[in-house]
């Protein structure tokens, strides 16, 4: 069993180009499934060919009995289905035991966004002072909202990713899929101020090429970014909870509300499927009806 599992995980990374984090999530979910099937026995005592649809359904029932969230059950079932589809397509099993197994329905919640005025208050909060830290924070918040980039993408930005001559920014992208983002004048101005004055003051080791640095001169972490946003949301006296993803959601909703094409927003967000982007049309419609 282990041989096929390892081959599948390698396939996810090399052929599907999944990130290390995504591949690790698949590994954890499939290892849990193996533990359920073997129930303490050695994994090599069971072969994938022997797994039946009843066992897969029993696994789903087991997770429900353990009060797993429906979203977690759906994710774990999806991992199992992907694995057996992989085995089936390579003729490593004669039947696919996941065919006919239903995943629990997951109620989709509309993303939480900020009103445009609240975004302006948040972006203005760090501009009261011109210290290296405040210049960094101003550029950081502006880039987050102006591009809709994910947290990991923003903290992963490198010097070579920013082209201020052509007003573009190369986003590292999820699962190593890069995309080019346009940089507007306000974002360009915030970046120039930070790169020319703020970052050199924070930088302690010239070998560090990350754009956004912490007080130790190292790459800013996801947790550090989250704390920065939380602090400025409090300073701006915003009543709603604000996270890095709140700015991404707000970017998408505001873009659609201003008339930007859905496919263009999909491209900017780096969504593989347009169905993922379509949820923001509901937010856009609500804004127009208000």
Catalytic residue annotation: 150, 174, 245, 248, 271, 280
Distance CA 183, CA 164 (A): 8
* DSSP-assigned letters across all residues of the chain: -HHHHHHHHHHHHHTS---HHHHHHHHHHHHHHHHHHHTTS-GGGS-GGG--HHHHHHHHHHHHHTT--HHHHHHHHHHHHHHHHHHHHTTSSSS-TTTTPPPPP-PPPPPP---HHHHHHHHHGGGG--SHHHHHHHHHHHHHHHH---HHHHHT-BGGGEETTTTEEEE--GGG--EEEE--HHHHHHHHHIIIIIHHHH---TT--BSSB-TTSSBPPHHHHHHHHHHHHHHTT-SS---HHHHHHHHHHHHHHTT--HHHHHHHHT-SSHHHHHHHHHHHHHHHH-
Joined together, the tokens standing for residue 88 give 């089936």
- The DSSP bridge partners found for residue 171 are 179
**Burial of 115 per CB tally in 10 Å (0-12, 13-18, 19+):** middle
Joined together, the tokens standing for residue 100 give 């006919």
- The DSSP bridge partners found for residue 213 are 219
């Amino acid at each position: 069993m282990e041989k096929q599992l390892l081959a599948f995980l390698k396939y996810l990374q090399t052929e599907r180009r999944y990130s290390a984090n995504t591949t690790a999530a698949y590994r954890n979910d499939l290892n849990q499934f193996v533990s359920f099937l073997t129930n303490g026995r050695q994994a090599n005592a069971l072969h994938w060919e022997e797994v039946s649809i009843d066992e897969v359904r029993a696994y789903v029932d087991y997770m429900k009995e353990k009060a797993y969230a429906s979203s977690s059950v759906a994710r774990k079932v999806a991992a199992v289905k992907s694995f057996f589809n992989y085995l089936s397509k390579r003729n490593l099993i004669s039947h696919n035991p996941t065919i006919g197994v239903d995943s629990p329905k997951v109620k989709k919640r509309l993303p939480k966004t900020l009103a445009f005025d609240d975004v302006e208050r948040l972006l203005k909060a760090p501009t009261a002072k011109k210290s290296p830290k405040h210049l960094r924070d101003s550029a950081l918040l502006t880039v987050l909202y102006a591009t809709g980039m994910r947290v990991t993408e923003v903290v992963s930005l490198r010097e070579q990713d920013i082209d201020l001559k052509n007003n573009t920014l190369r986003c590292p992208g999820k699962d190593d899929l890069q995309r080019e983002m346009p940089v507007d004048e306000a974002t360009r101005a915030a970046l120039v101020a930070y790169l020319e004055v703020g970052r050199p003051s924070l930088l302690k080791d010239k070998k560090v090429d990350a754009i956004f640095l912490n007080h130790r001169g190292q790459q800013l972490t996801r947790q550090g970014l989250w704390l920065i946003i939380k602090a400025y949301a409090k300073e701006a006296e915003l009543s709603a909870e604000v996270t890095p993803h709140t700015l991404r959601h707000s970017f998408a909703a505001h873009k659609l509300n201003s008339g930007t094409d859905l496919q263009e927003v999909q491209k900017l967000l780096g969504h593989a499927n347009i169905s993922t982007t379509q949820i923001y049309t509901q937010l856009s419609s609500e804004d127009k009806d208000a």
